[in-house]
Amino acid sequence: MKHMIVAGNWKMHTTAAEAAALAAEVVTLVGKQGGTAPTADVVICPPFTSLDAVVAVTADTSVHVGAQDCHHEHHGAFTGDVSASMIRAVGCSHVIVGHSERRRYHHETDTLIASKVLAALAEGLVPIVCVGETLDEREANITTQVITTQLETILQIVGAERMQQCIVAYEPVWAIGTGRAATAEQAQEVHATIAALLAKAGVHVPILYGGSVTAENAATLFAGADVYGALVGGASLKADAFAAIVAAAGAQMQ
């Protein structure tokens, strides 16, 4: 049986009040699922300014809360940044690192991302480590090469033992926010590559797919042998769509 995880990345959406309302809806809908059947782990990742409110709403529920990024240092003169220890202190259990929007708009490198992973782990947070190729890279047939370089660089710095504490997310950049998800075959192919690469180092972690996951395509994507859930952007902002994706993940666990 696969243990499935569905994480919602709310990106730069929701004020604290809106986030609390959305989180309450997610708690209600996800909480109704399952009964005695196993359900997927659920993580929601609102903006920093909404973390406190969402932690309050989800306290004593099965819904976990994560941040969307963290700084690699614990404190210091880093205007505008937020450390892993601050994220932990507010009550989060997870943090997304290396999202393609951070790589693109904040010029984050694999080396920097690895140091964020270490900072997160030092605080007991579970890093959700994102990798993925651009459209140009896929069309140039270098997807495997790109993913391998990203993961090997991170793995070398983080080390296999610590990497084992992470979740990996495969997010093809061309599929993010475009409505053009990878096909189940495309996703599974890269997930298998990632799983094999990590297995060589003795690392066996859940690998989530991200990029235009919807209530409609989730079940097909989740059928892939190495697909252990999803990192969901747009569809995670609608509680019913997100809950349907969580249900599709749960169905893989029965």
Q: How far is the CB of 12 from ligand PGA (least distance, A)?
A: 12
Asked if 91 is part of the footprint of ligand PGA (rule: CB under 6 A), the reply reads no
Look up 64 and say whether it is catalytic.
no
Q: Is residue 186 a contact point for ligand PGA (CB under 6 A)?
A: no
Residues 6+ apart with CB under 8 A from 176: 100, 101, 132, 210, 211, 212, 233
Q: Which is nearer to ligand PGA, 98 or 250 (CB)?
A: 98
171 is catalytic: yes
DSSP single-letter state for residue 243: H
* β 167-170/5-9 pair status: unpaired
Q: Among residue numbers 52 through 81, which ones bind ligand PGA (CB under 6 A)?
A: none
DSSP assignment of 5-41 equals: EEEEE-TT---HHHHHHHHHHHHHHHHHS-TTS---E
Considering the rule CB under 6 A, would residue 108 count as an interface residue with ligand PGA? no
For residue 231, state whether it binds ligand PGA (rule: CB under 6 A). Answer: yes
Contact of 54 with 10, CB cutoff 8 Å: no
Is 233 an interacting residue with respect to ligand PGA (CB under 6 A)?
yes
Rounded distance between C-alpha atoms, residue 136 and residue 143, angstroms: 9
Count residues binding ligand PGA (CB under 6 A).
Answer: 13
Half-sphere exposure for 77 (CA within 13 Å, toward CB):
0
Closest CA to 47 of 119, 112, 96, 108: 96
Rg, the chain, Cα only: 17
Of 101 and 110, which has the nearer Cβ to ligand PGA?
101
With binding defined as CB under 6 A, does residue 217 bind ligand PGA?
Answer: no
Binding mask 156-185 for ligand PGA (x = CB under 6 A): ---------------x----xx--------
Q: Which of 71, 99, 108, 191 is catalytic?
A: 99
Contact between 234 and ligand PGA per CB under 6 A: yes
Q: Which residues contribute to the site for ligand PGA (CB under 6 A)? A: 9, 171, 176-177, 210-213, 231-235
